[in-house]
Structure 1
Amino acid sequence: MDDSFDTFVTGGSGFIGRWLLAELTRRGRRVVALVRRAGEREKELRAFVDAHGGDARLLRCVDGDLTRDGLGLDIALEGVRDVYHLGAAFEFGMDPVRARAVNVEGTLRVARWAASRPQLRRLVHLGGYRATRMPAWLCEAQIPLSSHDRARLYREHGAYEASKLESQLEVRALAAREGIPLTIVSPSTVIGDSRTGETIQVTGLGEMIGRMVAGELPALAGSARTNVPVVAVDHVAAMLATAPERDETIGRELCVLDARTPPLPELVRRIGDHLGVAAPTRVLAPALLRALPRSLTGVDPETLTFLSEDDYDTRSAEEHARAVGIEMPDLDTTLRRWATYLTSTRFGACAPSGAATIRDVAGSRTFVVGRPETAQTLFLHGLPWDAESWRDVADLTPGSSARVDLPGLGRSSPARVDDVAWLDALLADRARPIVLVGHSLGAGLALRFAARRPQRVSRLVLVSPAFLQRRAPAMLRCAALTSRALRGMSLERAQRRFLGAGDVHPAVESAHAHLRRPGVASRIARALAGASTLEARAELRRLLEAIAVPVTIVHGDQDPLEVRPACEIVTVAGAGHVLHVTHPEAVSAQLRDDEFASTPLHLT
């Protein structure tokens, strides 16, 4: 490796680190990133950098270790001018010895390595915003800390935060002694990218939102004035990348946060409103939570040290941002995009659901993948599924498509109108008819909508339409029993019940996860019972006989039709009721010849 690399980054595979690598290479910097198992991780990191506006041709990854002298490097890197230290052990409940080895001693090793660079311009250390409000006794303590002071620090703050505070004190002292040009950038709680909401970190506030969505957050810790400021990861990356460009930041600490962040209860309420879930109204004092068993509260006592009513001095960061032309992104937009991304990935449990949004549709905060207003095809799921069940079919089908979670199911909150009126509102801005593809219960919804608004639909594809098949067993027609069974169903049993033996399918994982959301299981049970009545089945059969829209029915030979209507019927060999999940190619094949309707809508 030659000496043309001018920038060195530790922690490049972490949350903030990834965005920093993209930002630095976007600015033309030639970057070496120290990571463990570089050979395994470089390909993935380079792909991330290219996908996020950077230039992976300017990035190299090398093996190293913060706990080893010389960082375990076997290359000189004499041309490095800027050193960014982001590497740290981030975990609550850590052993203090491990926390100090990585976060304190590792920081000092990086600083000494940086000081030995003949062309060093800047050492940029990633701190934490809580360090800008250190206790008075700690600010006055002698550095290095005495064993008494260190024990007190780790007892009061826990190993993670204590090690970060100690490392910040130690690196300042070392820089002052040895004349190292140091800038500390201390972000607050870092949330997703302001443009996309993307994140790879759920710890802390993200976990809290996940518990709220699942109905497992009865109260908040803190007070009505608790301040947990947030900041977007791309803004932090830009502040880090530009810190060495100005001599004025030498010896300064930039506290990077969005001062517009409301107090924690209001912050959580805004996110809850966006997601269509109720935010907790009760607030419990941290002292009370510390006194109660963790098994009862579900709260790690170490996380409570981050809760305070403090304000933070952001003047240095704001001055720098103005000088280099960086604007703070809009807070509410960033929060909404981040919350949507978290929901789309089930809080880090799966890959994101494409271009997902959460929008208001007839009173429902509706989870949408794609753009129903322009898509050629709209997929409607059945029970107990969600939009994820259509992912494979959508990926295999040419042309634009959209898929949604129906009102009150999956990630969508209930609507204030019936499902047909909700679908009418969802498609209200379309200029052309759409292909509606519905599974089971969703097939009935697609049919009812086409009967009410035939001019809005170019074609119906009904996959396993339950109203043409054997009626649900008597037990499933009892909403109370079904609701109880769904809530108590294990993931493994759900796989066996819905798809049969085998590894758990991602669509089953998604459907099962949403059964934890308040009211979802009971709404599924009521919808199933209502769709199974003789009257509902007869009505849908009459609508199908009279419909003027072209119809294709797709079903599996293991899930036969009781009635064979006068329309195109495709039978898939070896398939059961959920063939769009088990046989996505066969379903997609029925959609590949569709031409996007060229006739504009003429609505009356």
Structure 2
Amino acid sequence: MTQAIVLLHGWGLSSAVWAPLQAALDPSLNVRTLDLPGHGNADPAGPTLESWSDALLAQLPENSLLVGWSLGAQLALHLARHHPDRIARLALISATPRFVQADDWQAAMPADTLADFRRSFDLEPTSTQRRFIALQGLGDARRREVVNGLGRAATPPGEARKAALADGLGLLASIDLRSAVPQIRQPVRLLHGAGDTLMPVAAAEWLADTLPDGRLSIFADSGHAPFLSRPQDCASLIEGFARD
């Protein structure tokens, strides 16, 4: 059994987003939540994937089950590839190796759409963040519940956080982990909502096919945040995986 379960949230949110999942997990488990750099109560770490990874690595216990969602899942993949001694296994929710489309990668958001989000965030950060949160509720049978939960856990994009949140959007635009995925040797459990319109299921299917030890579970009637709309189902899968 892994020593700790560590939860990494997605862009624009905070570790508070995990509250429903934490409530559903067995309280005897050693569950920890981390804020991404510049999110929640965490200090900014700079604009690069390596700087964000290093900031998180400093807080990770050895032999962790790292649970990453969205941008947090990308960071988890990067950490597992480069620091396998610290991470025993991964559970990735709404994961993708690349967030934006390319000529050889269509299971993603159009690059122009994310570029528009970045421009809008520079001018109107609060309304842009709300629009991004609203997208994450699409395709979910409990859409209102999901959007409300995300909104309560959002990191306000005031002057103290705006630059770090903009750096996070920059990471979503630039990260491409496809070449690293075949080198990840830890067991990986993938959880994905069938109705996820922000990140197509095809991205998770590619990961399941390409990872040396990957397995995918798809949740019907769920969107980008199944741990909010189906916390008990997600908790059951994560608990079983942790105890393997």
> TM range, normalised to the smaller chain?
0.7 to 0.9
Aligned counterpart for 2:71 among listed residues 419, 422, 441: 441
User: SS of 1:442's equivalent?
Assistant: helix
Task: Work out the CA distance in 1 between the residues paired with 2:186 and 2:77.
Answer: 9
SS at match of 2:179: helix
Aligned pairs for 1:171-320 (under 5 A) are: none
* Alignment counterpart, residue 87 of structure 2, candidates 446, 457, 472: 457
Q: Which residue of 2 aligns with 1:554?
A: 191
Query: Does structure 2 conserve the Cα–Cα contact (< 8 Å) formed by 1:376 and 1:596?
Result: no
- The alignment's TM-score, normalised by the length of structure 2, stands at 0.76
Number of residues paired by the alignment?
A: 214
| Residue 200 of structure 2 is aligned to residue 564 of structure 1 | no
Question: Normalising by structure 1, what TM-score?
Answer: 0.33
Deviations 1:383-435 (A, max 9, x none): 122111111112212212011111111222213670111122112xx3x4000
Q: Which residue of 2 aligns with 1:75?
A: none
Q: Does structure 2 retain, via aligned residues, the 8 Å contact 1:439–1:465? A: yes
The CA distance in 2 between the partners of 1:421 and 1:490, in whole Å, is 26
Is 1:423–2:56 an aligned residue pair?
yes
1:582 aligned to which of 207, 229, 234: 229
Structure 2 counterpart of 1:475:
113
Letter in 2 for 1:418: S
Q: Deviations over 1:261-294 (max 9, x none)?
A: xxxxxxxxxxxxxxxxxxxxxxxxxxxxxxxxxx
Report whether the alignment pairs 1:396 with 2:24: yes
Q: Distance in 1 between matches of 2:168 and 2:242?
A: 33
CA distance in 2, matches of 1:518, 1:507: 21
Alpha-carbon distance in 1 for matches of 2:168, 2:95? 15
Is the Cα–Cα contact under 8 Å of residues 476 and 529 in structure 1 kept in the other structure?
no
The 8 Å contact of residues 38 and 164 in structure 2, kept in 1 or not, is answered as: yes
- Mapped partners of 1:494, 1:383: distance in 2: 9
Question: Letter of the aligned partner of 1:451 in structure 2?
Answer: R
CA drift of 1:516 comes to 4.0
Q: Which residue of 2 aligns with 1:235?
A: none
Code of the aligned partner of 2:57: D
Of 156, 163, 174, the match for 1:515: 156
Corresponding position of 2:36 = 406
**One-letter identity of the residue aligned with 2:168:** A
Give, in whole Å, the separation in 1 of the partners of 2:58 and 2:32.
15
Question: How does 1:499-514 map onto structure 2 within 5 Å?
Answer: 499=137, 502=144, 505-511=148-154, 514=155
Distance in 2 (CA, whole Å) between partners of 1:375 and 1:589 is: 17
C-alpha change, 1:473 and 1:579, in structure 2 (3 Å) is farther
How far, CA to CA, are the matches of 1:595 and 1:502 in structure 2?
Answer: 30
Shift of 1:452: 0.9
Name the residue aligned to 2:165: 524
Is the Cα–Cα contact under 8 Å of residues 91 and 189 in structure 2 kept in the other structure?
yes
Question: Which residue is 1:381 aligned to?
Answer: 9
In structure 2, the gaps of 5 or more residues are 99-106
Q: Which has the larger radius of gyration?
A: 1
What letter matches 1:531 in structure 2? L
Cα distance, 1:595 vs structure 2: 4.5
* Partners of 1:531 and 1:494 in 2: CA distance: 13
Q: Report the CA distance between 1:494 and its aligned residue.
A: 6.7
Question: What residue identity is the alignment partner of 2:221?
Answer: G
The offset of 1:590, in angstroms, is: 1.6
Q: What are the superposed Cα offsets for residues 97-137 of structure 1, whole Å, 9 maximum, x if unpaired?
A: xxxxxxxxxxxxxxxxxxxxxxxxxxxxxxxxxxxxxxxxx
Aligned-partner Cα distance in 2 for 1:435–1:472: 31
- Report SS of the residue matched to 2:240: coil
1:573 Cα offset (Å): 0.5
1:547–1:496 Cα change, 3 Å? closer
Aligned partner of residue 502 in structure 1, secondary structure: helix
SS of the residue corresponding to residue 166 of structure 2 reads helix
Question: Which secondary structure does the structure 1 equivalent of 2:153 belong to?
Answer: helix
State the shift of 1:568 in Å. Answer: 0.4
Q: State the SS of the aligned residue for 1:568.
A: strand
What does 1:92-131 align with in structure 2 at a 5 Å threshold?
none
Counterpart residue number, 1:88: none
Q: Contact 2:13–2:40 at 8 Å: present in 1 too?
A: yes
Give SS of 2:159's match.
Answer: coil
How far apart are the structure 1 equivalents of 2:34 and 2:90? 17
Please give the root-mean-square deviation of Cα atoms over the aligned residues, in Å: 2.7
